[in-house]
Homo-oligomer: A and B are copies of this chain.
Amino acid sequence: MSGLVESAISTSVTALTSLDRQLCERVFEYEDRINIMEIEIDDMATRLLALQQPMASDLRFLTSAIKINNDLERMGDLAVKIAKRALDLMDLPPVKPLVDIPEMARLAESMLHKCLDSFVRRDSALAREVLVSDDGVDDTRVEIFRVLIRAMQAEPANIPQYVDLMSVARSLERIADHATNIAEDVLFLTEGIDVRHHAETRKS
Contacts and interface: CB of A to CB of B under 8 A. Distances in A.
Interface of A: 28, 35, 38-39, 46, 49-50, 53, 55-56, 59-60, 63, 66-67, 70, 80, 84, 145, 149, 152-153, 156-157, 159-160, 163, 166, 170, 194, 196-197, 200, 202, 204
B170 A160 contact: no
A67 to B, nearest CB: 7
A166 B148 CA distance: 14
Contacts of A194: 39
Contacts of A156: 152-153, 156
Contact of A66 (B38, B66, B163, B197): B66
Contacts of A50: 55-56, 59
B149 A84 contact: no
Contacts of A166: 163, 166
Given A59-B46, A67-B70, A197 B153 contact: no
Contact of A197 (B35, B55, B159, B196): B35
A153 B194 CA distance: 47
Given A38-B196, A149-B159, A159-B159, 19 more contacts: A28-B202, A39-B196, A39-B197, A46-B59, A46-B60, A49-B59, A50-B55, A53-B53, A66-B66, A66-B67, A70-B70, A84-B202, A84-B204, A152-B159, A153-B156, A153-B157, A153-B159, A163-B166, A166-B166
A59 B166 CA distance: 41
A80 B80 CA distance: 26
A153 B156 CA distance: 5
11 contacts: A35-B197, A38-B197, A46-B59, A49-B49, A50-B55, A50-B59, A153-B156, A153-B159, A156-B156, A163-B166, A166-B166
